[in-house]
Structures are given as structure tokens and as C-alpha cells.
Amino acid sequence: MATDLRHTRNIGICAHIDAGKTTVTERILYYTGKNYKMGEVHEGTATMDFLQEEQERGITIQSAATTCPWVRNGEDYKINLIDTPGHVDFTIEVERSLRVLDGAVAVFDGKEGVEAQSETVWRQADRYKVPRICFINKMDKLGADFEYSFNSIRARLGANPIAVQYPIGSGNELEGIIDLLGMKAYYFDADEKGAVVTEKEIPPHLMDKARAWHHALVELAVELDDSLMEKYLEDETTVTPDEIRASIRKGTIDRRCNPVFCGAALRNVGVQRLLDGVIDYLPAPDEVPEVEGTDPRDSEKKLTRPHAEDASLSALVFKVVNDAHGDLTYMRIYSGTLKKGSRLLNPVNGKKENISRIFEMHAQNRDPLEEAGCGSIVAVIGVKDSYTGDTLCDADDPIVLERMTFPEPVISMSIEPNGSDDKRRLSEGLATIRREDPSFRSHFDEETGQTIIAGMGELHLEIIKNKLTRDMKIGCTVGKPRVSYRETIQGPAKDVRGKFVKQTGGRGQYGDCTVNIEPYTEEQAKADGVKFVESVAFVNGIVGGSIPKEFIPSVEAGVRQTALAGVTAGYPLINVKVTLIDGSSHAVDSSQIAFEQAGRLALQMAVAKAGSVLLEPIMKVVITSPEDYIGNVTGDLNSRRGMIVDSEDRGPVKLITAEVPLSEMFGYTTTLRGMSQGRATSTMEFLEYRAMPASMAKEVIAAG
């Protein structure tokens, strides 16, 4: 398999749930020769969905990596491929995959076009500056409409789509695809599982349509390159297909356009041409900007690493999977060469890590390697203290690569072990899942004596519960899901003093600090260059040394611990800025513990003075329903304190977008099925935290 960087592609397949990502991936594995037979999601035989839960539910839960070969124009290429989940509860899997990929294939349902989760995935790819090509899948579905889906990419994502293919027919009439650049038709032999592709002339009845789309393709392509535009304006017939392809490639890598392909993975139509598109338009590892990081000794100093195998090694850990033989740590190598038996530094925690074995992964199967060069995505064994988002690098030339952002959990429930042996094993099991899944949290509640687990949704927690009880064989009982509320303040409070004085026999304790508190957002923190950890900013505004320097971190620790534990109702305090402005100390009695307590008291009093408010998670809910049931659906949403923000017609169905508090949405899928005779569907994702009505907040605080 090719190892030349120019012949490598690191790509992900990502989309809305049920757009056909895993089926596309299975066809890729078959046509590249990695699999000798096709796996099917609906039969529970998909290679990349190898977990029992995935096979039973027919959905992807965790991202799976594989490496496969492809030949394009007689040259060998290596494609590192990650199949990601579409369900919003597992959005962390998409997040961490996009962080380490150079390009992505966004898959859309040919009938639905851009859907709710498609927008979320697109925004995540924008955040990590990932170039994308689009694949309009399911063109064999009844009601599939290429032009509608194509236009939805521009309208709903604000993208610049360029159609490079057009389908021959749709629904049951789907026969093949037209290559708009080469102006040829391609047919995929159904008897040979689409492996035999025949090139023919474009059918006469589609020639006018193909010419119109070809003209649009050329016009959009020349707009991406000034010199090509000049040539086109002088004489449009002199512009060659290779020049157009090169212009679209450059535009895609610069994220100024998105080539659009089409087909039907389940019917084996169009996947090989999509693979050609991956090679033609998505970047090789050395065509994206050099990876950036900071110096661990000076976080203000920016560093970069070149795409070279002889450079200092830098790699990012993006996934940890618990395995019978030890943790399997997935990493993307950005520079240098990783050798078996090497010793690396984790500059985040200062620990040294041994790389005892290196594997190239194919779903749950692994091929051992002696070494891996930059641009590779591999899994290693031997890493003990490095987790998702950590950097591993040469100890002599350290660098800290940018970490990923992990979403905050919005739902929690209690979990209790059945016996004393289960108690120990539950603690170990939860630690293992926390290592694997950064969007999962767990903690022990001292007041109630319960262990609380928190995640991204009901399905997320259900999967975790099954993992503990079925896979790890831990006996435990879970409570009902509960909403994860937050607290914030209504306004500012100034000059609030927290004084902690304790006299005992001998040395006492003395800590005294004065703070200001005000509402604050992440955007304000970024603009001001202030550190915003757990949605709390702490600023040292002491002038003249009224508090000795060594005690200021203690005040901050007291403030942050108190904010995390909650001040009014026991829920984390968010979106506040605490400024330390004054204080006093005692030459003998002052200590770090005393100033920590002073910080705690100051925050509690400041929040009481500013006035606190309870925030609840609001979900963006998108419902697709036949017209007959719209009255029932909207009436039900209103009864759940929902606010309908948009509705649009999509053929025979209506699409309703609403914002509804999470506390009102438990068991909604079942209710929706009941009121629509099983014909309406919904998707839900976290939108933001909003203030609760005062009367309801009182009930929550009283119940808590």
C-alpha cells in the first residue's frame, strides 16, 4: 500500500442519522478489496458496526477506523477512513474524528437533503477547517430529488456546492450517473454488485440537462481561479477538464467550494466514482497547513511542525478504547516517525509513555506495524496516562497541540451497585468509560450517597448502562433520567468580601478577599483574552500586593470548586466573571486553605447579592410529519412549553423546527409515534441553556 504522503488521504464519512454513512463505508471496503463480501447495516453484518449494540440497533455508536487501498489513473493510494455516528447523542465521536482528519465526505439523503444533524456536523467541520465533498445518497429512494437536495446544501449550509455528477433517473428508475466534467454516462452492473462499471454516451433525453449542469460547473470552477477566468473569458473552449478539476481541487482544499457527487450505496451505484473524487479533490496530509501548537514552557509561544518524517514527532490522541490486552490508544501522527518501542512525552501532564506496539486498524481487527510515518492514523498499546485530546511528542522538542472541545452533558441519572463486589467493579467500570468517552461524566454525590452518571441524551445513558451490565457484567440499578440544570447570576455585584477567620489553640487560620462578580460569556472571554474554564472566568485585579502572590491561586481554586458544586441549588454556576480586587493577610495565620475558604465564602455571598437564576437545557427538535397529524404535533409541543421557530413543506410532509426544554421531552419519540400512527419522526439536539420560569425553578430547587 502506498506510503507516499501525496498518495495518502485521511477522510471521514459523516452525516445525519440514516443518511447511509455506514453503507457507503461498507461499499468502499468492498470495492477497495478490504472486504471480500458486503456487510449490511439492516442485517447487523456491517464491518464498521462491530459492537453488539450497533448490530442490534442498526446505528453507529462509536467511530471506527480502517485503512484501504485505491488505484486512480494507474497510481496506488492509501485511504485512512473513519466512519462516524449520525445520532446527536454520540456527537463527541464526530468531533474527535474531524479534529484529526484532512477531509470529509458529507453524505445526504437524496429525498431529505440537508437535515438537522447534517447542519451540526457541517458546523463541526467548519470549526476544524476540514475540506468536504458531498455525496447525495439514496437516489434509488422513492421521492429522491437530486436538484432539491443540491439546492438545500446552498440554502441551509451556506456552502458553495458544485455538481460534478448528475443521476440517470431516480427511485426505482435509477440507472447510473453522468460525469459532468467528462460528459460521459456510467452504469453499474447489478449482477456484479456494481463492481463492473460501463462507460457510455449520455442518453439523448438527458443531454440538454447535462449540458446546462456542465455549463454551471465550468462557470463556478473558473470563478475559483483568476488566471483560468481570464482564459475562459477569452475563449471558453480552450479550458480543459484537467484545468477545471485542478481549480475545483484548489477551491475544495481552501474550503471555498464543495464538489457534489450522487448515487445509491445500497444499490451499489456511484461509490467507485466517489472514491475517485476523494483522490481528485480532498487534500493529502502535506496539502493542509502545518499543524499548530504551543510551547508547554510558554503557552503564549506558538509552534508549528512540518509534514516530514524526519521532523520531531508530534501526535494527537483522539480516542482510547478499553481492550482485553490493555488500552488501545488511537492517534494521528502529524510530524516525524513513530517507532515501536519508542518513549514519548505527554507535555500536558509531564508523563513519559512507552509505545510497545503499533497497529493499523481495520474496525476491530489490527495489523501490526514496526513504524508509522506522519499523516498516519494508528492505534498503539502501552500508553497509560494519556487520554483524548492529549499530545504525545519527542521529549527533546515538546509541543502541545490544540485540544478538542467536549460538549457538556445535559442529562443525568443515579446508578447504584447491587453488592459490595459490584461497588468496586462499578467504580472501575465508570473510570474505564470516562477514559473512552469524554462526553460522559460521573461523580459521587455526598449528600444523597448516590453515584450520578451524566451524558448527552437518553440513548447515550442507555448504551452506557448496557455496557456496564451486559459487557462488564456489573450488577447495578439505575434511576430515572434527570435534567442537568445550571445556575447563573442576574446581574453584577461589587465589593463583596469573603473573610475566613478561625482561632484554635496555637496557630489559627486567616484568609480575606474582596471580589466583583458579573455575567460573562465565552465570546466576551475570547475577545478579552481571558481564560474561561468550566464557563467561569477568574481575573486577578490585585494592585499593590494586598494579598501575597502565593495565595491568589488558592482564592481561584476556592471560587472554581464552589462554582462547580453550585451555590444556590447545587447545580454548576456558569457564565460568570469573578475579579479579585482586594484582600488582606496575616503574617502567621494565613494559609492556602484559609484563602481557599475565603474565595468560597466570597463567591457564595456575591451570588446571593447578585441574585441567582436557574437555567435549563433547551433542545432544538426537528419533526417530520405528514400534514394530517400537524395539528396534534404542534398542540403537543405547545403543551411541553415548546416554541415553534420554523415550518416548511417538503412534498407530502411538513418539517417543524421547535425549541423545547429537555425536561419536557422524556419519552417523546414514543408519544410522537402514537399520535401519528408511527408515521412522524423526530431528531433532537442540545441548543443552549435558558432561564427557567421562576415558579418551576422553585419546584426544581425544592425537589433537589
Domain holding 568: CATH number? 3.30.230.10
How confident is the model at residue 42, as a pLDDT? Answer: 44
Categorize the per-residue pLDDT at 588 as very low, low, confident or very high, splitting at 50, 70 and 90: confident
How confident is the model at residue 450, as a pLDDT? Answer: 77
Q: What length is written for the chain? A: 704
pLDDT in tens, 230-245: 988 888 788 899 999 9
Same domain? 361 vs 372: yes
Same domain? 655 vs 526: no
Categorize the per-residue pLDDT at 223 as very low, low, confident or very high, splitting at 50, 70 and 90: very high
Average pLDDT for residues 666-675, to the nearest whole number? 80
- Residue 209 domain-assigned (yes or no): no
How confident is the model at residue 597, as a pLDDT? Answer: 94
How confident is the model at residue 90, as a pLDDT? Answer: 66
- Residue 653 domain-assigned (yes or no): yes
* Short-list 389, 411, 607, 571, CA closest to 498: 607
CA 457 to chain centre: 15
Q: Which residue stretches of 519-645 are H helix?
A: 522-528, 552-565, 592-610, 630-639
Average pLDDT for residues 492-500, to the nearest whole number? 93
Domain closes at, from 581, 610, 639: 610
* Short-list 99, 68, 69, 74, CA closest to 84: 99
533 bridge partner residues: 536
Quote the longest CA-to-CA distance of the chain. 100
The x, y and z cell numbers of residue 319, run together, are 480516542
- Cβ proximity of 485 and 448 under 8 Å: no
Average pLDDT for residues 674-694, to the nearest whole number? 83
Strands ordered across the beta sheet of 132-137:
64-72, 75-83, 8-15, 103-109, 132-137, 258-262, 161-163
Strands ordered across the beta sheet of 176-179:
165-168, 176-179, 184-188, 197-200
Helix then strand then coil, % of the chain, to nearest 5: 35, 35, 35
* Short-list 70, 68, 25, CA closest to 47: 25
24 bridge partner residues: none
Q: Which residue has the higher pLDDT, 117 or 250?
A: 250
- Residue 219 domain-assigned (yes or no): no
Same domain? 110 vs 128: yes
Give percent of the chain above pLDDT 70.
Answer: 92
- Residue 226 domain-assigned (yes or no): no
**What letter would DSSP give residue 113?**
B
The x, y and z cell numbers of residue 488, run together, are 447563573
How confident is the model at residue 476, as a pLDDT? Answer: 85
* Short-list 543, 530, 554, 486, CA closest to 691: 486
Domain holding 425: CATH number? 3.30.70.870
How confident is the model at residue 88, as a pLDDT? Answer: 59
502 bridge partner residues: 509
- Cβ proximity of 703 and 482 under 8 Å: no
- Residue 216 domain-assigned (yes or no): no
* Short-list 478, 482, 438, 441, CA closest to 462: 478
Residues 6+ apart with CB under 8 A from 271: 24, 27, 28, 31, 194, 263, 265
Residue 688 burial (CB < 10 Å; 0-12/13-18/19+)? exposed
- Cβ proximity of 482 and 568 under 8 Å: no
Categorize the per-residue pLDDT at 183 as very low, low, confident or very high, splitting at 50, 70 and 90: very high
Domain closes at, from 401, 421, 436: 401
- Residue 18 domain-assigned (yes or no): yes
**pLDDT, averaged across the chain:** 85
- Cβ proximity of 471 and 465 under 8 Å: no
**Is residue 420 scored above 70 in pLDDT?**
yes
- Cβ proximity of 9 and 95 under 8 Å: no
* Short-list 379, 374, 378, 312, CA closest to 4: 374
Residue 410 to residue 440: CA distance in whole angstroms: 10
Q: Which residue has the higher pLDDT, 360 or 496?
A: 496
**Is residue 658 scored above 90 in pLDDT?**
yes
Residue 518 to residue 702: CA distance in whole angstroms: 26
How confident is the model at residue 62, as a pLDDT? Answer: 56
Q: Which residue has the higher pLDDT, 435 or 146?
A: 146
**Is residue 460 scored above 60 in pLDDT?**
yes
How confident is the model at residue 466, as a pLDDT? Answer: 82
Residue 175 to residue 164: CA distance in whole angstroms: 17
pLDDT in tens, 590-636: 899 999 999 999 999 999 999 999 999 898 888 888 888 899 899 99
Q: Which residue has the higher pLDDT, 260 or 532?
A: 260
Average pLDDT for residues 251-275, to the nearest whole number? 93
Which domain range does residue 567 map to? 487-610
- Cβ proximity of 86 and 120 under 8 Å: no
Domain holding 121: CATH number? 3.40.50.300
Three-state DSSP class for residue 30: helix
Three-state DSSP class for residue 346: strand
User: Within 13 Å and on the Cβ side, how many CA atoms surround 216?
Assistant: 16
- Cβ proximity of 459 and 89 under 8 Å: yes
Same domain? 274 vs 324: no
How confident is the model at residue 300, as a pLDDT? Answer: 80
Same domain? 311 vs 419: no
Categorize the per-residue pLDDT at 671 as very low, low, confident or very high, splitting at 50, 70 and 90: confident
Q: Which residue has the higher pLDDT, 685 or 506?
A: 685
Cβ-defined contacts of 294-302 (< 8 Å, 24+): 294/399, 294/400, 295/398, 295/399, 295/400, 296/347, 296/348, 296/398, 296/399, 296/400, 297/398, 299/400
Same domain? 510 vs 367: no
Average pLDDT for residues 128-156, to the nearest whole number? 92
- Residue 318 domain-assigned (yes or no): yes
The most confident of the ranges 26-40, 48-62, 277-291 is 277-291
The most confident of the ranges 123-127, 311-315, 446-450 is 311-315
With b for 16 or more beta-carbon neighbours within 10 A and e for fewer, the 395-432 pattern comes to eeebbbbeebebebbbbbbbbebeeeebeebbeebbeb
**CA dihedral (448, 452, 457, 461) positive or negative:** negative
Same domain? 30 vs 62: yes
How confident is the model at residue 243, as a pLDDT? Answer: 92
**Is residue 50 scored above 50 in pLDDT?**
no
Extract the runs of DSSP E, i.e. beta strands, from 491-548: 493-502, 509-519, 532-533, 536-540
Of the listed ranges 494-498, 589-593, 650-654, the least confidently predicted one is 650-654
Domain closes at, from 287, 311, 327: 287
How confident is the model at residue 159, as a pLDDT? Answer: 92
The x, y and z cell numbers of residue 462, run together, are 442507555
Categorize the per-residue pLDDT at 151 as very low, low, confident or very high, splitting at 50, 70 and 90: very high
Residue 161 burial (CB < 10 Å; 0-12/13-18/19+)? buried
Q: How many domains, the chain? A: 5
- Residue 406 domain-assigned (yes or no): no
Residues 6+ apart with CB under 8 A from 318: 96, 97, 99, 100, 330, 331, 332, 388, 389, 404
Q: Which residue has the higher pLDDT, 64 or 664?
A: 664
Categorize the per-residue pLDDT at 221 as very low, low, confident or very high, splitting at 50, 70 and 90: very high
pLDDT in tens, 5-49: 889 899 988 887 777 877 888 888 888 876 554 445 444 444 444
With b for 16 or more beta-carbon neighbours within 10 A and e for fewer, the 577-612 pattern comes to bbbbbbbebeeeebbeebbbbbbbbbbbbbbeebeb
How confident is the model at residue 49, as a pLDDT? Answer: 43
The x, y and z cell numbers of residue 52, run together, are 453488539
Average pLDDT for residues 137-146, to the nearest whole number? 91
How confident is the model at residue 324, as a pLDDT? Answer: 65
Same domain? 353 vs 397: yes
What totals of helices (H) and strands (E) does the chain contain, helices first?
17, 39
Same domain? 626 vs 606: no
Average pLDDT for residues 70-83, to the nearest whole number? 86
- Cβ proximity of 107 and 19 under 8 Å: yes
Residue 514 to residue 521: CA distance in whole angstroms: 22
Q: Which amino acid is at 409?
A: P
Residue 441 burial (CB < 10 Å; 0-12/13-18/19+)? middle
Same domain? 17 vs 94: yes
Q: Which residue has the higher pLDDT, 125 or 281?
A: 281
How confident is the model at residue 176, as a pLDDT? Answer: 92
Domain holding 370: CATH number? 2.40.30.10
Same domain? 544 vs 556: yes
Same domain? 686 vs 631: yes
**Is residue 465 scored above 70 in pLDDT?**
yes
Residue 543 to residue 375: CA distance in whole angstroms: 49
